[in-house]
């Protein structure tokens, strides 16, 4: 999986259970790798005043929230995911609105 200004690329699906993500920040800015679950469409998640996904909203369930990932680095993140529909998001200020979000299906 690759993060860069302003996109996320990945296969888009996985099997339920422990899902390993190898996340590379190929951009020049700091990014994050967060996993959310919501019944809202991916482009309608609530934002706070910093233009970040509002993780305190009852409409958003935070499954995983990474530490900031420096440009040019790779991190390994493992999340236990049940079957369902998730959103992969960079939640640095403004990045979600600029398109750093991806639908992800766990079967």
pLDDT at 59: 97
**For residue 104, what are the β-bridge partners?**
86
What does pLDDT average to over the chain?
Answer: 96
Please determine, for residue 8, whether its predicted confidence score (pLDDT) is greater than 90.
Answer: yes
Question: How big is the chain by its Cα radius of gyration, in Å?
Answer: 13
Residue 8 sits in a domain whose CATH number is 2.60.40.420
The domain in which residue 48 lies consists of 2-106
User: Mean of the pLDDT values across residues 29-53?
Assistant: 97
pLDDT at 12: 66
**What percent of the chain clears pLDDT 70, i.e. is strictly above it?**
99
**Domain count within the chain:** 1
Query: 0.75 cut: is pTM over it?
Result: yes
**Rounded to whole angstroms, how far apart are CA atoms 60 and 22?**
24
pLDDT at 87: 97
**Rounded to whole angstroms, how far apart are CA atoms 98 and 80?**
28
User: Coil, strand or helix: which one is 42?
Assistant: helix
């Amino acid at each position: 999986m690759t993060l860069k200004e302003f996109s996320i690329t990945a296969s888009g699906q996985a099997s339920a259970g422990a899902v390993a993500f190898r996340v590379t920040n190929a951009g020049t800015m700091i990014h994050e790798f967060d996993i959310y679950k919501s019944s809202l469409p991916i482009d309608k998640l609530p934002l706070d005043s910093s233009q970040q996904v509002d993780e305190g909203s009852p409409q958003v369930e935070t499954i995983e929230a990474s530490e900031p990932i420096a440009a040019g680095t790779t991190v390994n993140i493992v999340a236990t995911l049940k079957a369902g529909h998730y959103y992969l998001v960079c939640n640095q200020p403004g990045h979600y609105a600029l398109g750093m979000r991806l639908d992800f299906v766990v079967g």
